[in-house]
Amino acid sequence: MRFVVGLTGGIGSGKSAAADEFARLGASVVDTDAIAHELTAAGGAAIAEVRRRFGAAFVDATGAMDRKRMRDLVFSEPEEKQRLEALLHPMIRAESERRIAAAPGAYVVHVVPLLVESPGFRERYRRVLVVDCPEALQVARVRQRSALPEDAVRRIIASQIQRERRLAAADDVIDNSGTISALQQQVRQLHEKYLALAAV
């Protein structure tokens, strides 16, 4: 069985920055957000079903899923969020499993924003790694990169699992309330730890 680390954290916590550093150090990174983007991009495997289930208005002029329209829909109507997840999650899981099996690194970092919300997550990972920072910092980072209004960012945070529950599920925690170099140093320490564990 591959040594797989499940990496998670709330929106704006710094999951991507941590994953980038793991990749730079030689770990294999499988990112479910990247897979979701591929599936819903123009020509993506999910586009035909998005059009069939939600209507042509949810596919933009380029042939990709209209992300803003879909985001507005799923945050206003929880049952529509469940419909989208029922479509995408099995496809994301299957592609993740394929990439994990084919990954060349000594261990795999599987980036999953909703990891702790997923049933049976404990069986899939040797370690659960949470990237954490205070909520105010999450809001500031997301607004800086996406230009979303503060209330929209706070709604996204509120829709995710509570920070305390995420931390309670963690085997390892990266505190990303400081500088990027502080985050990278923590990743380097964990990289050495995971290399040693994967070799056992």
pLDDT by residue (tens digit) across 65-78? 999 899 889 888 88
Position 57 confidence tier, pLDDT thresholds 50, 70, 90: very high
CA distance 127 to 29: 14
CA distance 28 to 116: 21
CA distance 41 to 79: 23
Tell me: pLDDT of 1 over 80. Answer: no
CA distance 139 to 51: 32
Q: Which two tokens stand for residue 45?
A: 């495997």
> How do residues 140-186 score in pLDDT, each as one tens digit?
999 988 888 898 889 888 888 899 999 999 999 999 999 999 999 99
Domain 1-27+105-200 sits in CATH 3.40.50.300: yes
List the chain domain ranges.
Answer: 1-27+105-200, 38-99
pTM to 2 decimals? 0.91
| pLDDT for 88 | 94
Beta bridge partners of 31: 111
H or E segment to which residue 68 belongs:
helix 67-76
Contact predicate 15/9, CB 8 Å:
yes
Contact predicate 6/114, CB 8 Å:
no
